[in-house]
Protein backbone atom coordinates (compact mmCIF):
# COMPACT_ATOMS: atom_id res chain seq x y z
CA UNK A 1 0.00 0.00 0.00
CA UNK A 2 1.31 3.40 -1.06
CA UNK A 3 1.80 5.92 1.67
CA UNK A 4 -0.64 8.91 1.56
CA UNK A 5 2.13 11.51 1.70
CA UNK A 6 3.75 10.09 -1.46
CA UNK A 7 0.47 10.29 -3.37
CA UNK A 8 -0.09 13.84 -2.14
CA UNK A 9 3.48 14.83 -3.09
CA UNK A 10 3.12 13.59 -6.63
CA UNK A 11 -0.23 15.37 -7.04
CA UNK A 12 1.27 18.61 -5.76
CA UNK A 13 4.17 18.36 -8.21
CA UNK A 14 1.73 17.77 -11.08
CA UNK A 15 -0.31 20.85 -10.10
CA UNK A 16 2.83 23.00 -9.82
CA UNK A 17 4.06 21.87 -13.25
CA UNK A 18 0.66 22.67 -14.77
CA UNK A 19 0.68 26.15 -13.24
CA UNK A 20 4.22 26.78 -14.55
CA UNK A 21 3.17 25.63 -18.04
CA UNK A 22 0.11 27.88 -18.08
CA UNK A 23 2.19 30.84 -16.89
CA UNK A 24 4.84 30.14 -19.53
CA UNK A 25 2.24 30.00 -22.31
CA UNK A 26 0.66 33.20 -21.03
CA UNK A 27 4.00 35.04 -21.09
CA UNK A 28 4.77 33.74 -24.57
CA UNK A 29 1.35 34.86 -25.75
CA UNK A 30 1.96 38.39 -24.49
CA UNK A 31 5.48 38.60 -25.86
CA UNK A 32 4.67 37.17 -29.29
CA UNK A 33 3.17 39.68 -31.76
CA UNK A 34 -0.25 38.96 -33.26
CA UNK A 35 0.76 37.13 -36.44
CA UNK A 36 -2.71 37.35 -37.94
CA UNK A 37 -2.69 41.12 -37.47
CA UNK A 38 0.80 41.36 -38.95
CA UNK A 39 -0.26 39.25 -41.90
CA UNK A 40 -3.29 41.46 -42.37
CA UNK A 41 -1.14 44.59 -42.40
CA UNK A 42 1.19 43.09 -45.01
CA UNK A 43 -1.57 41.62 -47.18
CA UNK A 44 -2.86 43.29 -50.31
CA UNK A 45 -6.41 44.52 -50.71
CA UNK A 46 -7.90 43.62 -54.11
CA UNK A 47 -11.00 45.27 -55.53
CA UNK A 48 -13.09 43.15 -57.92
CA UNK A 49 -15.96 44.42 -60.08
CA UNK A 50 -17.60 42.49 -62.92
CA UNK A 51 -20.35 44.03 -65.05
CA UNK A 52 -22.86 41.63 -63.46
CA UNK A 53 -22.98 38.48 -61.39
CA UNK A 54 -26.18 37.43 -63.18
CA UNK A 55 -24.10 35.37 -65.57
CA UNK A 56 -22.48 32.04 -64.74
CA UNK A 57 -19.53 32.98 -66.95
CA UNK A 58 -18.42 35.58 -64.40
CA UNK A 59 -19.10 33.27 -61.47
CA UNK A 60 -16.78 30.64 -62.96
CA UNK A 61 -14.16 33.25 -63.78
CA UNK A 62 -14.39 34.68 -60.27
CA UNK A 63 -13.82 31.30 -58.62
CA UNK A 64 -10.30 31.21 -60.07
CA UNK A 65 -9.54 34.77 -59.02
CA UNK A 66 -10.97 34.55 -55.50
CA UNK A 67 -9.26 31.20 -54.84
CA UNK A 68 -5.91 32.71 -55.79
CA UNK A 69 -6.45 35.80 -53.63
CA UNK A 70 -7.29 33.57 -50.66
CA UNK A 71 -4.31 31.30 -51.33
CA UNK A 72 -2.00 34.34 -51.34
CA UNK A 73 -3.37 35.44 -47.97
CA UNK A 74 -4.78 38.66 -49.38
CA UNK A 75 -8.12 40.38 -48.93
CA UNK A 76 -10.83 41.16 -51.44
CA UNK A 77 -13.69 43.60 -51.94
CA UNK A 78 -16.25 42.23 -54.42
CA UNK A 79 -19.03 44.41 -55.79
CA UNK A 80 -21.83 43.71 -58.27
CA UNK A 81 -22.92 46.80 -60.26
CA UNK A 82 -25.69 44.78 -61.95
CA UNK A 83 -25.07 46.38 -65.37
CA UNK A 84 -25.21 49.93 -64.00
CA UNK A 85 -22.22 51.95 -65.22
CA UNK A 86 -22.93 54.69 -62.68
CA UNK A 87 -23.09 52.22 -59.82
CA UNK A 88 -19.84 50.55 -60.92
CA UNK A 89 -18.02 53.89 -60.87
CA UNK A 90 -19.36 54.69 -57.39
CA UNK A 91 -18.32 51.26 -56.10
CA UNK A 92 -14.80 51.59 -57.52
CA UNK A 93 -14.52 55.03 -55.93
CA UNK A 94 -15.45 53.50 -52.56
CA UNK A 95 -12.82 50.80 -53.12
CA UNK A 96 -10.21 53.49 -53.66
CA UNK A 97 -11.26 55.09 -50.38
CA UNK A 98 -10.75 51.69 -48.74
CA UNK A 99 -7.17 51.69 -50.02
CA UNK A 100 -7.16 48.90 -52.61
CA UNK A 101 -3.78 47.92 -54.06
CA UNK A 102 -5.19 46.45 -57.27
CA UNK A 103 -8.43 46.34 -59.23
CA UNK A 104 -9.84 43.50 -61.34
CA UNK A 105 -12.47 44.95 -63.64
CA UNK A 106 -14.99 43.91 -66.25
CA UNK A 107 -16.44 47.27 -67.28
CA UNK A 108 -20.17 47.78 -67.68
CA UNK A 109 -19.45 50.56 -70.16
CA UNK A 110 -16.04 50.79 -71.81
CA UNK A 111 -16.06 54.60 -72.00
CA UNK A 112 -17.58 55.66 -68.69
CA UNK A 113 -14.89 54.08 -66.49
CA UNK A 114 -12.05 56.14 -67.97
CA UNK A 115 -12.11 58.91 -65.35
CA UNK A 116 -12.24 56.58 -62.34
CA UNK A 117 -9.42 54.47 -63.81
CA UNK A 118 -7.29 57.60 -64.23
CA UNK A 119 -7.93 58.27 -60.52
CA UNK A 120 -6.96 54.69 -59.62
CA UNK A 121 -3.72 54.86 -61.63
CA UNK A 122 -2.81 58.18 -59.98
CA UNK A 123 -2.92 56.32 -56.65
CA UNK A 124 -0.67 53.53 -57.88
CA UNK A 125 -3.44 50.93 -58.12
CA UNK A 126 -2.66 48.04 -60.46
CA UNK A 127 -5.49 47.48 -62.96
CA UNK A 128 -6.29 44.18 -64.66
CA UNK A 129 -9.22 44.17 -67.07
CA UNK A 130 -10.87 40.79 -67.67
CA UNK A 131 -13.20 39.52 -70.42
CA UNK A 132 -13.83 42.86 -72.18
CA UNK A 133 -11.53 45.81 -72.82
CA UNK A 134 -11.86 49.43 -71.77
CA UNK A 135 -11.97 52.19 -74.37
CA UNK A 136 -8.42 53.34 -73.60
CA UNK A 137 -6.17 50.25 -73.30
CA UNK A 138 -3.44 52.40 -71.72
CA UNK A 139 -5.55 52.64 -68.56
CA UNK A 140 -5.13 48.92 -67.91
CA UNK A 141 -1.84 47.37 -66.84
CA UNK A 142 -3.06 44.16 -68.44
CA UNK A 143 -6.18 43.00 -70.27
CA UNK A 144 -7.13 39.30 -70.37
CA UNK A 145 -9.78 38.62 -72.99
CA UNK A 146 -11.05 35.94 -75.33
CA UNK A 147 -10.18 36.41 -78.98
CA UNK A 148 -13.56 38.03 -79.48
CA UNK A 149 -13.20 39.18 -83.07
CA UNK A 150 -12.15 35.68 -84.05
CA UNK A 151 -15.19 34.28 -82.21
CA UNK A 152 -17.37 36.32 -84.55
CA UNK A 153 -15.32 35.16 -87.53
CA UNK A 154 -15.76 31.51 -86.57
CA UNK A 155 -19.53 31.82 -86.34
CA UNK A 156 -19.62 33.86 -89.54
CA UNK A 157 -17.60 31.30 -91.50
CA UNK A 158 -19.85 28.48 -90.26
CA UNK A 159 -22.92 30.58 -91.04
CA UNK A 160 -21.77 30.96 -94.65
CA UNK A 161 -21.71 27.19 -95.03
CA UNK A 162 -25.35 27.01 -93.89
CA UNK A 163 -26.89 30.00 -95.66
CA UNK A 164 -26.59 30.95 -99.33
CA UNK A 165 -29.30 33.58 -98.89
CA UNK A 166 -30.48 34.80 -95.54
CA UNK A 167 -32.17 37.51 -93.47
CA UNK A 168 -30.47 37.71 -90.09
CA UNK A 169 -31.20 39.50 -86.83
CA UNK A 170 -28.12 40.56 -84.86
CA UNK A 171 -28.35 40.88 -81.06
CA UNK A 172 -25.65 43.15 -79.64
CA UNK A 173 -24.27 44.69 -76.45
CA UNK A 174 -22.96 48.02 -77.66
CA UNK A 175 -21.37 49.21 -74.41
CA UNK A 176 -19.10 46.12 -74.18
CA UNK A 177 -15.99 45.98 -76.36
CA UNK A 178 -16.12 42.17 -76.35
CA UNK A 179 -19.66 42.16 -77.72
CA UNK A 180 -18.86 44.75 -80.36
CA UNK A 181 -15.79 42.82 -81.47
CA UNK A 182 -17.76 39.58 -81.86
CA UNK A 183 -20.47 41.30 -83.87
CA UNK A 184 -17.86 43.03 -86.03
CA UNK A 185 -16.10 39.72 -86.70
CA UNK A 186 -19.40 38.12 -87.67
CA UNK A 187 -20.53 40.97 -89.93
CA UNK A 188 -17.14 41.31 -91.62
CA UNK A 189 -17.21 37.61 -92.44
CA UNK A 190 -20.77 37.31 -93.74
CA UNK A 191 -20.23 40.44 -95.86
CA UNK A 192 -18.55 38.09 -98.34
CA UNK A 193 -22.05 37.05 -99.40
CA UNK A 194 -24.18 39.99 -100.61
CA UNK A 195 -27.31 37.83 -100.42
CA UNK A 196 -27.15 37.83 -96.62
CA UNK A 197 -28.99 40.83 -95.17
CA UNK A 198 -29.08 42.16 -91.62
CA UNK A 199 -32.75 43.02 -91.14
CA UNK A 200 -32.58 44.18 -87.51
CA UNK A 201 -30.17 44.91 -84.67
CA UNK A 202 -31.28 44.60 -81.06
CA UNK A 203 -29.22 45.66 -78.03
CA UNK A 204 -30.11 43.24 -75.24
CA UNK A 205 -27.09 44.11 -73.04
CA UNK A 206 -26.11 40.45 -73.05
CA UNK A 207 -29.03 39.50 -70.79
CA UNK A 208 -31.54 36.75 -71.54
CA UNK A 209 -34.30 38.61 -69.68
CA UNK A 210 -33.87 41.66 -71.90
CA UNK A 211 -33.60 39.77 -75.19
CA UNK A 212 -36.87 37.83 -74.78
CA UNK A 213 -39.20 40.88 -74.94
CA UNK A 214 -37.11 42.49 -77.70
CA UNK A 215 -37.46 39.36 -79.84
CA UNK A 216 -41.16 39.06 -79.02
CA UNK A 217 -41.71 42.64 -80.16
CA UNK A 218 -39.77 42.02 -83.38
CA UNK A 219 -41.86 38.93 -84.11
CA UNK A 220 -45.09 40.80 -83.35
CA UNK A 221 -44.08 43.55 -85.80
CA UNK A 222 -43.94 40.94 -88.55
CA UNK A 223 -40.23 41.27 -89.32
CA UNK A 224 -39.18 38.37 -91.53
CA UNK A 225 -35.93 36.58 -90.72
CA UNK A 226 -34.50 33.07 -90.82
CA UNK A 227 -31.60 33.33 -88.37
CA UNK A 228 -30.36 35.16 -85.30
CA UNK A 229 -26.76 35.84 -84.30
CA UNK A 230 -26.24 36.83 -80.66
CA UNK A 231 -23.12 38.22 -79.06
CA UNK A 232 -23.38 35.70 -76.19
CA UNK A 233 -25.24 32.59 -75.12
CA UNK A 234 -27.64 34.19 -72.60
CA UNK A 235 -28.88 36.36 -75.48
CA UNK A 236 -29.12 33.32 -77.77
CA UNK A 237 -31.06 31.39 -75.15
CA UNK A 238 -33.42 34.35 -74.76
CA UNK A 239 -33.89 34.52 -78.53
CA UNK A 240 -34.56 30.77 -78.68
CA UNK A 241 -37.12 31.03 -75.88
CA UNK A 242 -39.00 33.83 -77.67
CA UNK A 243 -38.94 31.93 -80.96
CA UNK A 244 -40.12 28.71 -79.32
CA UNK A 245 -43.03 30.46 -77.61
CA UNK A 246 -44.05 31.84 -81.02
CA UNK A 247 -43.73 28.42 -82.66
CA UNK A 248 -40.87 29.62 -84.88
CA UNK A 249 -37.81 27.90 -83.46
CA UNK A 250 -37.89 25.13 -86.08
CA UNK A 251 -37.80 27.79 -88.81
CA UNK A 252 -35.07 30.07 -87.44
CA UNK A 253 -31.40 29.22 -86.79
CA UNK A 254 -29.88 30.61 -83.59
CA UNK A 255 -26.17 31.26 -83.06
CA UNK A 256 -24.36 32.45 -79.93
CA UNK A 257 -20.98 32.86 -78.27
CA UNK A 258 -19.80 31.40 -74.93
CA UNK A 259 -20.17 27.64 -75.13
CA UNK A 260 -22.23 27.64 -71.94
CA UNK A 261 -23.73 24.36 -70.67
CA UNK A 262 -27.27 25.56 -71.46
CA UNK A 263 -26.32 26.56 -75.01
CA UNK A 264 -24.48 23.30 -75.60
CA UNK A 265 -27.56 21.40 -74.44
CA UNK A 266 -29.69 23.34 -76.94
CA UNK A 267 -27.16 22.63 -79.69
CA UNK A 268 -27.19 18.92 -78.82
CA UNK A 269 -31.02 18.97 -78.98
CA UNK A 270 -30.98 20.72 -82.36
CA UNK A 271 -32.51 23.94 -80.97
CA UNK A 272 -29.40 26.04 -81.61
CA UNK A 273 -27.06 25.82 -84.57
CA UNK A 274 -23.73 26.77 -83.03
CA UNK A 275 -21.80 28.72 -80.42
CA UNK A 276 -18.16 29.56 -79.82
CA UNK A 277 -16.62 28.20 -76.65
CA UNK A 278 -14.90 30.63 -74.32
CA UNK A 279 -12.97 29.37 -71.33
CA UNK A 280 -13.90 31.36 -68.19
CA UNK A 281 -11.74 29.20 -65.91
CA UNK A 282 -8.73 29.89 -68.10
CA UNK A 283 -9.51 33.62 -68.27
CA UNK A 284 -9.86 33.73 -64.48
CA UNK A 285 -6.58 31.86 -63.88
CA UNK A 286 -4.70 34.07 -66.36
CA UNK A 287 -6.20 37.18 -64.78
CA UNK A 288 -5.02 36.03 -61.37
CA UNK A 289 -1.53 35.31 -62.74
CA UNK A 290 -1.33 38.77 -64.30
CA UNK A 291 -2.60 40.36 -61.10
CA UNK A 292 0.10 38.79 -58.94
CA UNK A 293 2.84 39.43 -61.47
CA UNK A 294 1.97 43.12 -61.28
CA UNK A 295 1.77 43.12 -57.48
CA UNK A 296 5.22 41.52 -57.37
CA UNK A 297 6.65 44.24 -59.59
CA UNK A 298 6.96 42.09 -62.69
CA UNK A 299 5.92 43.07 -66.20
CA UNK A 300 3.04 41.47 -68.09
CA UNK A 301 1.77 41.57 -71.65
CA UNK A 302 -0.51 44.52 -72.28
CA UNK A 303 -3.15 42.17 -73.69
CA UNK A 304 -3.51 38.42 -73.31
CA UNK A 305 -5.89 36.79 -75.79
CA UNK A 306 -7.40 33.44 -74.88
CA UNK A 307 -8.22 31.17 -77.87
CA UNK A 308 -11.82 30.19 -78.68
CA UNK A 309 -13.38 27.19 -80.46
CA UNK A 310 -16.43 26.62 -82.64
CA UNK A 311 -19.12 24.36 -81.15
CA UNK A 312 -21.64 22.79 -83.53
CA UNK A 313 -24.09 19.91 -83.57
CA UNK A 314 -21.32 17.81 -85.11
CA UNK A 315 -18.76 18.28 -82.31
CA UNK A 316 -20.72 19.43 -79.25
CA UNK A 317 -20.10 16.20 -77.33
CA UNK A 318 -16.38 16.96 -77.38
CA UNK A 319 -17.02 20.05 -75.22
CA UNK A 320 -18.57 18.36 -72.15
CA UNK A 321 -22.15 19.49 -72.59
CA UNK A 322 -23.04 19.73 -68.90
CA UNK A 323 -20.24 22.02 -67.74
CA UNK A 324 -18.16 25.10 -68.45
CA UNK A 325 -14.62 24.55 -69.64
Question: What is the full DSSP assignment across 189-246?
Answer: HHTT-TTEEEEEEEE-TT-HHHHHHHHHHHHHTT---SEEEESSHHHHHHHHHHHHHT
Task: Answer left, alpha or beta for residue 83, where phi above 0 means left and psi between -120 and 50 means alpha.
Answer: left
Domain(s) labelled CATH 3.40.50.2300 in the chain stretch across 39-146+280-306, 148-278+312-319
Candidate CATH numbers 3.30.450.40, 2.30.110.10, 2.102.10.10, 3.40.50.2300; the one for domain 39-146+280-306: 3.40.50.2300
Query: How far is residue 17's CA from residue 2's CA, in Å, rounded to a whole number?
Result: 22
Residue 177 reports pLDDT greater than 50: yes
Tens of pLDDT, residue by residue over 249-265, are: 999 999 999 999 999 99
Tell me, what's the pLDDT at 84? 95
Helices 85-98, 114-122: inter-axial angle, 10-degree rounding: 10
* 297: three-class secondary structure by DSSP: coil
Give 8's DSSP letter: H
% of the chain surpassing 90 pLDDT: 82
Query: How far is residue 41's CA from residue 208's CA, in Å, rounded to a whole number?
Result: 43
Tell me, what's the pLDDT at 324? 85
Residue 10 reports pLDDT greater than 70: no
Calculate the CA dihedral of residues 233, 252, 198, 158 and round it to 10 degrees: 70
Query: How far is residue 167's CA from residue 29's CA, in Å, rounded to a whole number?
Result: 76
Q: Between these two residues, 45 and 56, which has the higher pLDDT value?
A: 45
Helices 208-220, 233-245: inter-axial angle, 10-degree rounding: 40
Can you tell me the mean pLDDT for 225-244? Answer: 97
Residue 2 reports pLDDT greater than 60: no
Residue 211 reports pLDDT greater than 50: yes
Residue 29 reports pLDDT greater than 80: no
Can you tell me the mean pLDDT for 276-288? Answer: 96
Tell me, what's the pLDDT at 55? 84
Tens of pLDDT, residue by residue over 124-161, are: 999 999 998 999 999 999 999 999 999 999 999 999 99
Residue 49 reports pLDDT greater than 60: yes
Q: Which residues contact 71 (CB under 8 A, 6 or more apart)?
A: none
Cβ(149)–Cβ(185) under 8 Å? yes
CATH of domain 148-278+312-319: 3.40.50.2300
Amino acid sequence: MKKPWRIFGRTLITIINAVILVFFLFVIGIARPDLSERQREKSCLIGVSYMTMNNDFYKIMHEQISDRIEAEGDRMILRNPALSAERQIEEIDHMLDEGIDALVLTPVDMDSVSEILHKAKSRGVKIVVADTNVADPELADCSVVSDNYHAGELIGAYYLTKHEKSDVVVVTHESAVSGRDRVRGFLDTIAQNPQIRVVAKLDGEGQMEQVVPLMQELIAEGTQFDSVFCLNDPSAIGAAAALESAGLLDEVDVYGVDGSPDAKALIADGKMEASVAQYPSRIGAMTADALYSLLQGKTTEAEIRVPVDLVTQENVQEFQVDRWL
